[in-house]
A and B are shown apart, each in its own frame.
Chain A
């Protein structure tokens, strides 16, 4: 793989179900991010990780959790999905503080 991969590409989920969105990068970037993109609202940061073993909350963290067990992987978990979490989710990474970010192709999630 090259760059960032996300899985699944799309998913339809029943409300109340647990879901993990996967993100893997092979660029050895120290920082990783999860965003959601909603029509008319642009991209909003959910959680981030500056380095393996650390995570932080972004602008819209409620209902989501993340972990960063190693450099390459940064999964995003919805413990109990709600319809307002219907969105397109993007994972990104960067190799330095305040540097440019590389984005994955996105996961389109629909919660019914």
Chain B
């Protein structure tokens, strides 16, 4: 069953605008990760935020985590056409689990 659920399912913005994607999950986590997938390709890891962190930055990416609301957001600033892709959140739970549980993804289209 899906742990993370992304919102919105699809997002279309103009180049230069910011894009915000949200992820909600159901159970406690050790960390939450965001991945990107270009059409027809494998997933690429973007950023990992641990359960004791609230915000993390990497280049034009900003991730927030609110464990009380069981939610996370991914912000891409100053978007580019090359950011067009699907974005997935994935959660890692405890009990020594090596597994990630992925959401269904947000499809982002950045229009030049």
Contact = CB atoms under 8 A, between A and B. Distances in A.
A94 B35 CA distance: 14
B41 interface: yes
A106 B30 contact: no
B42 A104 contact: yes
Count class of interface residues, chain A: 20 to 34
B97 interface: yes
A98 B42 contact: no
Interface in B63-112: 88, 92, 96-105
Contacts of A97: 96-98
A42 B103 contact: yes
A50 B42 contact: no
A17 B59 CA distance: 47
A82 interface: no
A43 B43 contact: yes
Contacts of A44: 102
Nearest to A104: B42
A37 to B, nearest CB: 9
Interface residues of B, number: 25
B24 interface: no
A85 B100 CA distance: 21
A11 B55 CA distance: 43
A59 B100 CA distance: 11
Nearest to A51: B98
Given A43-B88, A59-B1, A98-B30, A90 B42 contact: yes
Given A44-B102, A104-B42, 12 more contacts: A43-B102, A50-B98, A58-B99, A90-B42, A92-B42, A98-B31, A99-B48, A101-B33, A101-B45, A101-B100, A106-B40, A106-B41
Interface of B: 1-2, 30-31, 33, 35, 40-45, 48, 88, 92, 96-105
